[in-house]
Amino acid sequence: MTRQYMQLHELQSTLIPSHASGRVRGVSQVQAPADPIDSWRALNAAHAAVHAALEQELKRRHDLSTIEYEVLDRLGECPKGKFRMQELAEAVHATQSTVSRVVARLEDEGLTARVMCSDDRRGIFASLTESGRARLESATPTYRRVIAATLDAAG
């Protein structure tokens, strides 16, 4: 049986339009190279290049780190308008401790708010403020442009 791996150029064309849903759809499969480690290293290098470019541009243009943008983005997508901190941590692929610190920094800037759960005193919800939504809307075109340009340069 042949192993299948995603092509980076197909990933780049589906990643941007699918970002809002958090899913990557329609990625074609190709036959794996002789050594799957090469594929893993290429994927890791592409991730590192995108992450570095995002860190630089988001900080310079919007005074946001990549993790801060991701938190704002996930909060902005949440249909309930708020996320439990643990669920938010899972959504942005970070520890609950990291997300708690990020949300606290964003709250200090007036971009997020934290509220205790009325049903479970241990639970804390995070939500986006109007200022947070405005910063997110301002930063999203930069986020998408940088991802597209960086992946295009890598492909």
pLDDT tens-digit profile of 95-104? Answer: 999 999 999 9
* pLDDT of the residue at 155: 64
Question: Could you list the mean pLDDT of each consecutive 10-residue stretch along the chain, which spans 155 residues?
Answer: 37 38 37 74 90 96 97 94 93 96 97 87 89 98 95 76
Q: How far apart are alpha carbons 65 and 70 in whole angstroms?
A: 9
**Domain of 46, in residue numbers:** 4-154
**Tell me, what CATH number does 103's domain have?**
1.10.10.10
**Total domains present in the chain:** 1
Query: For the chain, what is the total number of helices (H) and then of strands (E)?
Result: 6, 5
With a CB cutoff of 8 Å and minimum separation 6, the contacts of 2 are: 31, 32
